[in-house]
Amino acid sequence: MKFENAEDVQQICWELRCADWPRDRNRANINNLFNGAPPYTAEEVQTNNINVNVNFLESTRLAHDARMQAQQGILKPGNYFMARTDGGPASKRSMWNNHCTSTVNRVMKKSLPYYENIRSKIGLNVLHGIGPSCWEDADTWMPDPLGVEDLLIPANTYVTFKNLPFFCILRSFTAIELMKITRAQKVDPGWNQKLIKQCLEWIDRESMALLGSNWPEVWSPSKVEERVKGDGGLYLGDQVPTIDVFDFYYWSDEKDQEGWRRRIVLDDWSTPASAGAPYSFGRDSKLDFGRNQWLYNPKSRVIADHREQIFTCTFADLSAVSPFKYHSVRSLGFLLYAVCHLQNRLRCSFAKSVFESLLMYFQVGNMDEAERALKLELADKGFIDDGLKFVKNADRYQVNSGLVELGLGENAKLINQNASSYSSSSQFSADRERKTKFQVQAELQQSQTLISAALAQFFTYQQVEYDQIFRRFLTPRAATSTCCVFATICLKIFRRSTWCLRRGRLNPNAPWAPVTRPWRWCRPSS
């Protein structure tokens, strides 16, 4: 499989984005519900004359409980994972394991960006069942959080990515990021310096007026909703201009070398050019500087041997149909959306009926009596005209309160049952009978079992990321960054006879060389 034409890559990425549009529309609806958006749209409120349109935040509270349970299991332990080695003398393995595990986890625990990466993946797993993250290069140990809408995967791909031929990551480069690419000490020859220079000139022109004429979220409903929420309901143009690209990866075995290769092209469709009132999508004559050109093309060079070296995904899939596929993942947010949305509408109707029961109604025969009713002032020891007649409670429409309570209770029961795997639904203070010690312990054990079963899938896929992070800590090329602390401590522990550095590289003749195969496996500490 070869991709030598930039136009072909642009077309493939555009088809992946179009196919993801209905999925992202569903994700946007889930985001709105769990963000606290009202159940009725503005058009429905105006058309149906709806007086009460409130989100009662029941779904928001459940999502918060689910995130809290996951964060307790991942962030609360002292270490993210424990590393074990099967090399070297058996008497020293325990010391090496403890020191290496504590050293790596100390750096990870102090990293606030990595904490946000974990928090982002947990939130995405709760709402959408998929938590992707990716690395910006081959040496950095810390991955960056990635939105589900920014990872474009072909249809019929399994959750193990066994049959993944290619994929695309949507990226937005700011001027600072492009400058770092062009002005680095060792610039990758695959970057198109001429095109990057033109991109910087375009960003400079747009930044003078802070127009922000490029809107990548136009093609992503979930990004649009987040943009509107951040702007307080008014869609303004205060966004810093960016260069939006398709970061395309494909697997190939050309030249008898298997691995993942990379191409980057500009995203022409995410740069609408203003032409009066409407928008004409696509670059105009002033912006047509990158059509059918490579922004990055390392040719046949292999970027990564395995997909895990580029991006990883954690899953919290509640789908019932196997074999499980990437686009068939069903999350807690998907399963709770319908019943929580219905519960909000039912509570709005119930609140509307409560307000109506507090109103006073008069029975009038003509408009003169209606005017007298409007002028009536009710006060202590006041007088009422004989022509005014109150509508008695028996003559008014009565809401079936028992049926309403039954409906609210059934919906609450369904919500608690669906969310019981993520949060504890036992309310001991609300129980009428005093429970014994064994009953309380049994309920706690059952709740913990359900929570553990729901989080087990997340931990399994998170282990892949931990393996990749630990491998990057052992990479000699990464010793110039945070890993230099790790290498220094390992030198003190293993001494130069066991682990020595020569000219910045690990000695391959050492009796135990960490470059080849030092660590058999890593597992989460919890």
- pLDDT tens, residue by residue, 117-162: 999 999 999 899 999 999 988 888 899 999 999 999 999 999 999 9
pLDDT at 357: 74
pLDDT at 512: 35
pLDDT-derived band at 12 (thresholds 50, 70, 90) equals very high
Pick 227 or 220 by higher pLDDT: 220
Pick 332 or 34 by higher pLDDT: 34
The arithmetic mean of pLDDT across residues 287-304, rounded, is 81
pLDDT at 311: 95
412-447 per-position pLDDT tens digit:
776 666 665 555 544 444 445 566 656 655 554 554
pLDDT at 49: 87
3-state secondary structure of 102: helix
Angle in degrees, CA 118, 119, 123, rounded to 5: 115
Residue 376 has pLDDT above 80, yes or no: no
Minimum mean pLDDT range among 3-17, 39-53, 173-187: 173-187
- The share of the chain scoring above pLDDT 90, in percent, equals 25
The arithmetic mean of pLDDT across residues 381-387, rounded, is 63
pLDDT at 124: 93
pLDDT at 429: 43
pLDDT-derived band at 237 (thresholds 50, 70, 90) equals low
256-279 per-position pLDDT tens digit:
889 999 999 988 776 544 333 333
Minimum mean pLDDT range among 70-74, 108-112, 354-358: 354-358
pLDDT at 176: 86
Pick 250 or 463 by higher pLDDT: 250
pLDDT-derived band at 405 (thresholds 50, 70, 90) equals confident
Sequence-ordered list of residues with C-beta below 8 angstroms from that of 448, at least 6 positions apart, any chain: none
Nearest CA-CA partner of 190 in 262, 288, 244, 116: 262
The arithmetic mean of pLDDT across residues 447-476, rounded, is 74
Pick 408 or 20 by higher pLDDT: 20
The arithmetic mean of pLDDT across residues 92-110, rounded, is 85
pLDDT at 279: 35
104-117 per-position pLDDT tens digit:
888 899 999 999 99
pLDDT at 387: 63
**SS percent in the chain: helix, strand, coil, step 5:** 50, 15, 35
pLDDT at 373: 67
pLDDT at 153: 96
Angle in degrees, CA 257, 261, 267, rounded to 5: 165
Amino acid at 410: E
Burial class (CB in 10 A: 0-12, 13-18, 19+), 464: middle
Bridge partners, 260 (sequence order): 251, 304
d(CA 87, CA 334): 46
d(CA 230, CA 233): 8
The arithmetic mean of pLDDT across residues 77-91, rounded, is 81
Residue with tokens 């691995």: 259
The arithmetic mean of pLDDT across residues 375-381, rounded, is 64
Q: How many residues does the chain have?
A: 526
Pick 456 or 46 by higher pLDDT: 46
> DSSP secondary-structure letter at 378?
-
Sequence-ordered list of residues with C-beta below 8 angstroms from that of 230, at least 6 positions apart, any chain: none
pLDDT at 490: 53
Domain coordinates in residue numbering, the chain: 6-335+452-524, 362-395
Residue 505 has pLDDT above 50, yes or no: no
pLDDT at 93: 79
User: Mean pLDDT, the chain, as a whole number?
Assistant: 75
312-331 per-position pLDDT tens digit:
999 988 888 889 999 999 88
pLDDT-derived band at 492 (thresholds 50, 70, 90) equals very low
Residue 188 has pLDDT above 80, yes or no: yes
